[in-house]
Amino acid sequence: MLVSITNHARRPEWLRVRAPGGASYRDVKDLVDRQRLHTVCESARCPNVGECWSHRTATFMILGNVCTRRCGFCAVPKGGPEPVDYDEPRRVAEAVAALGLKYAVITSVNRDDRKDGGAEIFALTIRAIRERLHGCQVEVLIPDFQGSRAAMDAVLDAGPDVLNHNLETVARLYRRVRLGARYERSLELLAYSKAVRPEIPTKSGLMVGLGETNEEVLQAIADLRAHRVDILTVGQYLRPTAKHLPVERYVTPAEFVQFRRAGLEMGFSHVESSPLVRSSYHAAEAVKHG
């Protein structure tokens, strides 16, 4: 049995990463800045930014750099929404082409100020990438669109290669961790995608270390599989700043191995589960192996 132990100790060795740098890293940063784009790598303070950018990959974040929700785990700035930039899809496509990507991941802030939650810009971005770079696969990591099926249809009609939406945490912690979101709504969104476009793989991710028990993690994994999710990611929550939710414990690498094993036994086509895993980490490999 997996056991949860509260641990407020300093960050363990297995969570330490090298500071970002190098020629490829600088090339990606210069390109993002030049095209006036945002990445979740920078905005969410991802620990893997150095590794990913050194391999000339990035997760582009559309619809501005200000989120309309105030989730306690996320480093993306919160506040009033920015104007929608209809030239952004073209610039994202140009950046994808400049990097020579064969697999692009597109995410966004929450845009609860818009009726469609920003789905229109997701669709335009998918199509812009396909027009600019034939053969490039596109994964979208979408918000919940407040449960709008019309918004989901707009994204799915553009034909993403993977539809990703993160469950993030266990049901009991939703009100504390994901303000404005609902556990069942996220599960229903993923199930709707599979029902409407069964050929498009669905994907979701969980953070651990926020106070959940391992039994609750296994239940969340089971809930995702029951809603026909294909690909699963599980990673350690890391506190971006002192203003964000604290890390309740550091989950051991051995426990992540057990989460992966449990997910595969439940029928996921691919599971990425280790301390530094994030939703778009090794995203292309997940599809290839799945």
Residue 49 lies in a domain: yes
Residue 122 lies in a domain: yes
Span 111-120, mean pLDDT?
A: 95
Indicate the range of 49-53, 70-74, 92-96, 202-206 predicted with least confidence: 49-53
- Higher-pLDDT residue of 246, 101: 246
Span 250-278, mean pLDDT?
A: 95
Residue 66 lies in a domain: yes
Residue 208 lies in a domain: yes
Number of separate domains in the chain? 1
Predicted pLDDT of residue 85: 95
Determine the Cα–Cα distance for residues 256 and 2; give it in Å rounded to an integer: 10
Residue 5 lies in a domain: no
Residue 72 lies in a domain: yes
Mark 82-102 as b/e (b = at least 16 C-beta within 10 Å).
Answer: eeeeeebbbbbbbbbebbebe
Residue 44 predicted with pLDDT over 90: no
Predicted pLDDT of residue 74: 79
Task: Identify whether the C-beta of residue 59 lies closer than 8 Å to the C-beta of residue 41.
Answer: yes
Determine the Cα–Cα distance for residues 225 and 203; give it in Å rounded to an integer: 10
CA atoms within 13 A on the CB side of 169: 24
CATH number, domain containing residue 179: 3.20.20.70
Residue 198 lies in a domain: yes
Residue 130 predicted with pLDDT over 70: yes
Residue 3 lies in a domain: no
pLDDT tens per residue, range 93-114: 998 998 888 888 999 989 999 9
Residue 28 predicted with pLDDT over 60: yes
pLDDT band, residue 198 (cuts 50/70/90): very high
Letter for the amino acid at 124? L
Span 60-64, mean pLDDT?
A: 90
What range defines the domain where residue 109 resides?
A: 19-289
Predicted pLDDT of residue 41: 54
Residue 186 predicted with pLDDT over 80: yes
Residue 206 predicted with pLDDT over 70: yes
Distances (CA, A) of 75 to 118, 214, 226: 20, 25, 31
Q: CB atoms < 10 A from the CB of 27, how many?
A: 15
